[in-house]
Structure 1
């Protein structure tokens, strides 16, 4: 029997080390840089700046890691959905080359950071399986892997036996194994960055929403209910929780929803059967399935949701159905909790780096690649603040371009999960239909 679920309870908030004691804004403050957003992006930026002696103040409207950084699946999936050739076509050869280089080292750089900064966040780098749910997607993944191997990525094609053994599931007939992939406890990582930033001299403030930004006397003034921060430069790192603080920025992304559940801890026999080797997995569905362990051997399983209440539009049912489909051997396992959170998605599924005014940077829109790429973005924005030229950065610095019909698209976000699930089911049915004229076993 499945145990009753403690819905809308975030596992990470129950298992992360305690949050550090931070300040409350009660007066005006002067510093070199104000970072708006105390998530992975903002805090990694603050660490890099504070390491150089730059005076930094980080503010957040809620608590450290309240947003995506404390709610995501915590998987480090270090590759784009686009090939290097497609990146070059989109950005130009020189820019693509820098992005490719940063991508290839992103996972190792993250786990090296964790070790160097002494962050206790359950980090494990055991590899990531990217599974195809249809033959069409299998062909696409083969092409993706081949293209990335040519530039040095460590990716292995896995046929049916290798996929079944590697993931512990017969739901897929082909996958890629990315040797550099892994996972972290995302809220613990976020809190670890906050401690590191504070140890290096940064000041952190919770419950300090930025209500206004204006330039006066050559400096930026960021207003909060408790006081005003005056600085040479401002970094906006609010991702899917971006509001109207800077005109148009909110409309460059869609705040999609990720929902997750945590099972009861698996016993040794179950662990040998499900994600053996403590790898991670995600698949090629539009309403993607993903899974990984936590430090206490719970299986974390997730998919696309509708709202920040996991219960909306059949979220729990979608999670349990997916779990049974991918891992039927633990179909009756108890579920301890489930939760939801926003992720920032851009039209191209790649993050944006903007410089909308002198002394203002914004990095957001990680589109499901946030664990690795927030670290890349944080370091890049710190370098830009310290004087690096745009031609030295891994991401192109672009103008803010609000999405067409953003309001309409945002209004339909709650319907996207069930719609994508329906399309996924149709793709599987089509795949099975094609299989009637082929001896090849379909992916499911």
Structure 2
């Protein structure tokens, strides 16, 4: 049992990650080649590449390393989009889509190769990911998705009822896709590992250093913090769902939706044999998605969509418990050690944005539930762009900032999304069962 972990909003990862590296507090004006705002997975992965290339780089964070999404996510590496390759071609054009498709196909292996190369202790396991359908309609949709991605080289297996229930250890699903490249990490440990690698290559990291203003003077950017001004040729904005008003309009390009999670007490050997055997991960096709994976100490981490930064809002603990009972009824009464919430940066198209709003400024954000794999892709891409790569070499299209229409109204309704989506999910299950009964009666007649 974790010490002092009974309270809600206690993040498991902060209790089990290796110690954070020693960082600095800004107390004077400093100059660098690149300043990165946001010490999460994206910003720190970019810092690793830049520092390895010999670039003078500083990473600053308003809070601490991994405070935001990177220290609060489920930590699952789910290396495929909800869109098909043809959908990507329609959205981006054939050439850009091909770059994104290739980056997607290699994203998981690239991440786990990174972890090994940098010798990061983050409980990384690449045992596969079950993408499960919660209704027959969603099963049909997933079959089409898998077929489309297999045509471009993805390793995806259609798994029927028996294989799904055995592989996931759940009676809740009768069809799934098994993605061989999927896996999981301890996300805060990965973030701290990137931080250590960046420091080892000469980067400087500063915590408790909110960027309060940016101004271009004499050909350089001046990033203002309470402790001093940082001057740089290039600035990378990597604040994702915790983006504020530092750059006009950037916050309005995403919705800060919320994921909530719980961690059970460690499962014994018998329980592990029936819940996610093989230490795979699972996420399903609900609008208010359920997901689950193990941690290194055999706790089950189970999550769903939440409402605010507090797990309690609009019955969050109840949704988590109900979801756990639905998916894994065999451990319905297991003890819960902690639960927490974190924001997810969601874009209208459910794919990340790479912006270049001004000369010497880049922003990468909006990973929409694919952050473990895609922050690694984005971080490396941002670094390559700073080092001189052209837009035509980027896995994501490089665009100007375009705020969402009615962003303020949409953001105000975010807390209501979790209960609303959960209600719609319940209705879809009831409808699916009713259609199933009608189909059986029709077959008998």
* Structure 2 residue aligned with 1:425: 426
* Structure 2 residue aligned with 1:271: 272
Q: Distance in 2 between matches of 1:316 and 1:50?
A: 42
TM-score for both structures, normalised by structure 1: 0.98
Residue 362 of structure 2: SS of its match in structure 1?
Answer: strand
User: 1:22: Cα distance to partner?
Assistant: 0.2
User: 1:398: Cα distance to partner?
Assistant: 1.0
Residue 372 of structure 1: SS of its match in structure 2?
Answer: helix
1:313 aligns with 2:309: no
1:393 aligns with 2:385: no
* Structure 1 residue aligned with 2:361: 360
Q: Distance in 1 between matches of 2:60 and 2:437?
A: 58
User: 1:225: Cα distance to partner?
Assistant: 0.2
Q: Distance in 1 between matches of 2:228 and 2:350?
A: 37
Residue 152 of structure 1: SS of its match in structure 2?
Answer: coil
* Structure 2 residue aligned with 1:170: 171
Q: Distance in 2 between matches of 1:44 and 1:118?
A: 14
C-alpha distance after superposition, 1:260-292 (max 9, x if no partner): 000000000000000000000000000000000
Residue 439 of structure 2: SS of its match in structure 1?
Answer: coil
1:22 aligns with 2:17: no
Q: Distance in 2 between matches of 1:5 and 1:175?
A: 34
C-alpha distance after superposition, 1:27-62 (max 9, x if no partner): 011010000000000000000100100000000000
* Structure 2 residue aligned with 1:213: 214
C-alpha distance after superposition, 1:293-319 (max 9, x if no partner): 000000000000001110110000000
User: 1:5: Cα distance to partner?
Assistant: 4.5
Residue 23 of structure 1: SS of its match in structure 2?
Answer: coil
* Structure 2 residue aligned with 1:406: 407
* Structure 2 residue aligned with 1:383: 384
Q: Distance in 2 between matches of 1:437 and 1:334?
A: 40
User: 1:439: Cα distance to partner?
Assistant: 3.4
* Structure 1 residue aligned with 2:53: 52
Question: Mapping of 1:63-78 within 5 angstroms?
Answer: 63-78=64-79
Q: Distance in 1 between matches of 2:394 and 2:354?
A: 10
Q: Distance in 2 between matches of 1:44 and 1:374?
A: 8
User: 1:438: Cα distance to partner?
Assistant: 1.6
* Structure 1 residue aligned with 2:97: 96
Q: Distance in 2 between matches of 1:435 and 1:169?
A: 20
1:120 aligns with 2:121: yes
1:111 aligns with 2:112: yes
Divergent runs of 4+, >3 A: none
Q: Distance in 1 between matches of 2:357 and 2:396?
A: 15
Which runs of 5 or more residues in structure 1 are unaligned? Answer: none
Q: Distance in 2 between matches of 1:206 and 1:26?
A: 12
* Structure 2 residue aligned with 1:179: 180
* Structure 1 residue aligned with 2:242: 241
CA RMSD across the alignment: 0.8
* Structure 1 residue aligned with 2:41: 40
Residue 142 of structure 2: SS of its match in structure 1?
Answer: helix
Q: Distance in 2 between matches of 1:324 and 1:101?
A: 38
Q: Distance in 2 between matches of 1:145 and 1:439?
A: 27
Aligned residues: 437
Which runs of 5 or more residues in structure 2 are unaligned? Answer: none
* Structure 2 residue aligned with 1:250: 251
